[in-house]
A and B are shown apart, each in its own frame.
Chain A
């Protein structure tokens, strides 16, 4: 399957600072990426859908000014948590579907990154 990476894997920051998380598709072009948030022992909650070259679509209840998403290229999307607070502490996971190196389109399957654990003190 396609490979998606995330960086950093774990970050601890002070309250009020901003944190940027990168999501990269390593062997395919990701026209669409998704950002999820996951609390312990809970399901994945979709935060936003990121399309290359256009503005992200945020889910209801997700503050777009707090969670800034940029999808500047077909292999990179970034999520910036601005002025982070302890309640923003969570596991953030990105996913992507796009076209594989074989040229075969895969508009069904989402490939997930390894996740980023954010702890805000």
Chain B
């Protein structure tokens, strides 16, 4: 089955700096890669996703890149703000099937 690894497990950045979280996956058949943000005690919220036919996607301060050959994808947050502090999870899946989640990254943005 699919195996998703996520790094780093914790990340602290100064407000205004950029944050990058990286994930690798093992199953080349996976074609959908979402990123979720989870605040303490709350549900995971989809923040951005990318499909395997696209190499990069951007939504305001958030961007995701995908390298299918190397089987890795990354989340980039620019101009970080304190409200970006949360746990971020990457996932990989084959359309219509279960998600395989990474282990999560706890991001702290220091004001």
Contacts and interface: CB of A to CB of B under 8 A. Distances in A.
Contacts of B104: 41-43
Interface size class of A (residues with CB under 8 A): 20 to 34
Contacts of A43: 89, 101-104
Nearest to A46: B98
Give the interface SS of chain B, mostly helix, strand, loop or mixed.
strand
B45 to A, nearest CB: 8
Interface stretch (A13-21, A63-71, A78-86, A106-114): A106-114
Contact of A107 (B43, B87, B95): B95
Interface of B: 32, 34, 36, 41-46, 49, 51, 87, 89, 93, 95-96, 98-99, 101-104, 106
Interface of A: 1, 32, 34, 41-44, 46, 49, 91, 93, 97, 107-115, 117
